[in-house]
Structure 1
Amino acid sequence: MSRSDNTYGRRGILAAGAGLLAAAVPTMGARASEALGSLPSSTASTLASSGFSNPVIWQDFADVDIRRVGDTYYYSASTMHYSPGAPVLRSYDLVNWEFAGHSVPVLEFGPEYDLDGGNAYVGGIWASSLNYRPADESFYWIGQIDFAKTYVYTAPAAEGPWNRHATIDNVYYDAGLLVDDDDTLYVAYGQTDISVAQLSRDASGEVRSELVFSTPPEVGTLEGARFYRIGGNYYIFLTRPANGQYILKSSNGPFGPYEMGEVLLDLDGPVPGGGVPHQGGLVDTPDGDWYYMAFVDAYPGGRVPALAPVTWTWDGWPVVQLVDGAWGESYPLPEPAHEVEPLIGVDTFEGATLDPAWEWNHNPDNSVWWTGGGLSLLTATVTDDLYAARNTVTRRIQGPTSTATIVLEGSAMLEGDRAGLALLRDSSAWIGVDPDGGSNTVAMVDGLTMDGDWNTVSTGTRRAEAEVSGSRVWLRINADIRPDGDHRARFSYSTDGVDFEFLGPDFTMNTDWHFFLGYRFAIFNHATRALGGLVNVERFELSTP
């Protein structure tokens, strides 16, 4: 992932890597000889009952790094300004995923990450790397923040506890971490000019760094490094945003020299209306089969992961297995299906902590929220700007369409408070409760917008309202995030949880990519006059049709 404006070059490849999409002559993987270079559509159509469909997760988990430890797969993704950051997902079959935790518990990178004197929208954590180090039986996460420093976090298990291990003064842009066979740590990084750094044994600093590859001008930009040692070769997996994937190969060690091969370019993807599968990483199964987990630009929902099998040519280049010349909408299951905790469903906030599916918009003020018998939110900020309000907590939208419903108890709200359920991005809308003069009003507001520097330019327009009796109200948003759909959201409320009334006009979600992250459902409570108001969210439900 890049935050720069890139001009994509025309298709090009070094002579040494030409012809890599020819039929595979497998040498890697115990069952590689059983795979085909392209599956016919008739075969693909029979996979519905015995296979999986792409995207494997229809939620926003971009800048994929994927690793296998024993028989378990782990997946790390970008979270930008959301806290905790760098989620870790877990799977036993590469298709069904659940939350394990977060590699970065708190965004300890400056006051702007607390919404203190500024904001960190589209800053923070992106294109970082996760790996496992057998020598000390620890997980490692590495990523640069704000082009200033690179941070290393470690944990004894993917679930945590995660702690900051080191701060390195070097900036490893789009880092890819390799734990070599001799336990040496290397990082591949850079944009267009790709470098490799060797870290100290304790991962606290740099021992050596060299430029190992300069991308030919006809290829354009390469970035998003993932670093591997496979079959005696070193590989740096690189994306050409947002329409290609290339790979560098060295048989002479981690510092090269490297030759380049094209993995895919302008390939039709599995999400109607979505982009080209790219970026992400390679992973093998315990049986020796290989897969590529990429992501697909699928706004307004974000960037969603897609999986495809990979074989290898006789001279060690990966080949993505296609269906009628495209990334398949479905493939056979890599492993027997394994049940995991679903990413959608009901949360009544009974535990002492939030489920890791929740992430705050910037760091929360932990003194004014708690769980147990619901999620209780005291107002943390006096503002008329939702983008500046602390303690807004979010969940990723589920595609292709999904509905979020909360039960909000607001008897302890103060006049001027605003609490409810939002669709949060750089163009936002919400439905919520606005107490005034002893009565409760449910309002629908849209038009909350940011400019390209992520400054608020509009705090929104009230489009409809309705007076309700009592302090308990159900608030609901239904969102259609299909890239080829109408990108509409509808807002409704109820006083009994049975009969819902639509409120306000449909809201059209923004499909521009510059914010990078997709829309999220967000629960908020902020003051416009004085602190002290309290709400209790008794229940949250994320459902699909």
Structure 2
Amino acid sequence: MAACHQPAATTHLSGKAGADNPAAAAEAATAPAIGANPILPGDFPDPSVVQVGNTYWATATSSNWGPVFPLLRSSNLGRWELVGHVFPDKLPAWADYYFWAPEISQEGNKTYVYYTAHKRGGNLAVGVASADRPEGPYTDHGPLVGQPDGSIDGFPMRDEQGRLYLIWKEDGNSINQPTPIWAQPINETRTALVGEKRELFRNNSATWEGNLVEGVAMVRHDGYFYAFYAGAGCCGAGCTYATGVARAKSLLGPWEKYARNPVLTSNDAWKCPGHGTVVEYKGHSYLLHHAYAARGQQYVGRQGVLSEFTWTADGWPEFRGGSTPIAPAAAQAQSFTDEFSGQKLQPVWQWPVEQRPIATLRSGQLHLQARPDHAGAALGHSTTAPDYTATTTLLNPADLPAGCRAGLAAHGDPDNVLALVARGNKIALIQTQKGQTTTLAEAPLPAVKTVQLRVQTHQGNRFTFAWSPDSGTTWQPLPADGAAVDGSFLPPWDRGVRVGVLAHGPASATAVFERFTLTDAL
């Protein structure tokens, strides 16, 4: 089980499934039907999962997008519902950005989320929040550890005597130093570390681990503690991430790394698998981790992937598929429509974590107050495929005041955006790159009550834009020749692209939108 649970040892058939091991092949054939990977489509890095009763709860990195740390619920590990966030409204008082690696755990009647964030005026630190039920509300208890080089990836674990420890990584790679994995006792209220910290193991730069090990998740099995961990480069087009495992009889060691590491590597379907937690379902063992889909990769982001493993005769985990994540089944198109008919925004909407927009819903309309900084007030939706179409309707574009622009956008971060906007009496295609805004094309905008806006994306980074003055009867491309715009600059190193709406200008201005749709094109 995830987090500080210590499940009873389970018996699994060992070895690879195949002609040389018919027993393992039979076991694989009877694995419960869960669903196609990714089980968490979209940008869900560093996923964590825990079982509470008959329900599974998961969360993941939100980085510099708010609201912070999604909370997802499932009865079968395959179909998930986004039900809220750990910090839906206010950020923890001590932190400002880089909300990474939440680890959700359950002990007794309490749910705990250990997480990483950037400390205001400091460096990365590990904090903890708790709730009386998995869906919250959560109370933050502040940072537990924040070393000068940064501390990340907190994980709770009880030792063989039942004493509670916090496991974490010292972020030495940020200054070209090694990355020790530490363990230190934590009090039962989860408010402070006590005693002395002990190093469990660190990266070996001469191996596949390269300049780091991180993302440790532990379980106990047949008298051993097992640490699943990630190594090498996590993110972007040049990622080299993979997953290894180490074990020890005692939590404090000595720790032995598996001679056949890495146990989970890239294949033709999934790239750079790593950073997850172990979970059991109907007697089978899985690692819920992230990986890039080979097609679309960094533009979609690191998605939640479930990979099954068994235990070998000599007591090491072995993943199905020859050390690779399970390949996806037939691709399933995702589709989202928001009629803005509720009382508040649906939980799928995201915004730059330090620049929460002022948005209200009234009579089936989204009213978005403009911002004058960066690319403006932004609301985005995670993308789930490299090819998709998004549309929205902007109401009364001629009523936008001078100096205001509003429309449909592909968001990388607040300073990297592609947008089709109305401004004055024109429709314009604008690019904001590293904070510098350029007009790529524009056309006269007739005096209409509404204008429909559309973006279509191919391979994650080729964007074509069009607009319609007549409710979608005819579409006019911008630029007029329909040429695609290169959006390769959009995603930051650790995030995928979002698509949504924006409004830039004085805070006295408000843009009004109707109906937003986002549909994968497979």
TM-score, length-normalised on structure 1? 0.77
Q: Which residue identity is paired with 2:454? A: R
Please report how far the alpha carbon of residue 169 of structure 1 lies from its aligned counterpart in structure 2 after TM superposition. Answer: 4.7
1:189 aligned onto 2:177: no
Match of 1:140 among 86, 94, 113: 113
1:357 aligned onto 2:348: yes
- Aligned Cα root-mean-square deviation (Å): 3.4
Please report how far the alpha carbon of residue 502 of structure 1 lies from its aligned counterpart in structure 2 after TM superposition. Answer: 1.9
In percent, how many aligned pairs have the same letter?
22
1:238 aligned onto 2:234: no
Q: Matched residues in 2 for 1:156 and 1:93: separation?
A: 23
1:468 corresponds to which residue?
446
Q: Matched residues in 2 for 1:156 and 1:521: separation?
A: 34
Contact in 2 for aligned 1:77/1:127 (Cα 8 Å) = yes
Q: Matched residues in 1 for 2:491 and 2:392: separation?
A: 28
Q: Matched residues in 2 for 1:431 and 1:270: separation?
A: 35
1:173 aligned onto 2:171: no
Match of 2:60 among 77, 80, 94: 77
2:202 corresponds to which residue?
214
Structure 2: gaps (5+ residues): 1-7, 172-178, 234-239
Contact in 2 for aligned 1:421/1:522 (Cα 8 Å) = yes
- Distance 1:88-1:422 versus aligned 2 partners, 3 A rule: same
1:508 aligned onto 2:486: yes
Structure 1: gaps (5+ residues): 1-26, 114-122, 333-341, 451-455
1:78-117 alignment runs, 5 A limit: 78-106=61-89, 108=91, 113=96
CA displacement 1:392-413 (0-9 Å, x = unmatched): 1111012142211112213542
2:277 corresponds to which residue?
281
Q: Which residue identity is paired with 1:444? A: L
Please report how far the alpha carbon of residue 418 of structure 1 lies from its aligned counterpart in structure 2 after TM superposition. Answer: 0.9
Contact in 2 for aligned 1:418/1:525 (Cα 8 Å) = yes
1:185-334 alignment runs, 5 A limit: 185-191=165-171, 192-208=179-195, 209-219=197-207, 220=210, 221-240=212-231, 241=233, 242-252=240-250, 254-261=251-258, 262-264=260-262, 267-271=265-269, 275-285=271-281, 287-297=282-292, 298-322=297-321, 326-330=324-328
- Distance 1:97-1:245 versus aligned 2 partners, 3 A rule: same
2:3 corresponds to which residue?
none
TM-score, length-normalised on structure 2? 0.80
- Distance 1:179-1:136 versus aligned 2 partners, 3 A rule: farther
- Distance 1:347-1:306 versus aligned 2 partners, 3 A rule: same
- Distance 1:304-1:537 versus aligned 2 partners, 3 A rule: same
May I ask how many residue pairs the two structures share in their alignment?
Answer: 469
2:4 corresponds to which residue?
none
Please report how far the alpha carbon of residue 90 of structure 1 lies from its aligned counterpart in structure 2 after TM superposition. Answer: 2.2
- Distance 1:263-1:282 versus aligned 2 partners, 3 A rule: farther
- Distance 1:130-1:522 versus aligned 2 partners, 3 A rule: same
1:36 aligned onto 2:25: no
1:346 corresponds to which residue?
337
Please report how far the alpha carbon of residue 459 of structure 1 lies from its aligned counterpart in structure 2 after TM superposition. Answer: 1.5
1:434 aligned onto 2:423: yes
Contact in 1 for aligned 2:389/2:454 (Cα 8 Å) = yes
- Distance 1:185-1:193 versus aligned 2 partners, 3 A rule: closer
Contact in 2 for aligned 1:54/1:328 (Cα 8 Å) = yes
Q: Matched residues in 2 for 1:112 and 1:469: separation?
A: 46
Larger RCO: 1 or 2 (CA < 8 Å, sep 6+): 1
CA displacement 1:1-25 (0-9 Å, x = unmatched): xxxxxxxxxxxxxxxxxxxxxxxxx
1:488 aligned onto 2:462: yes
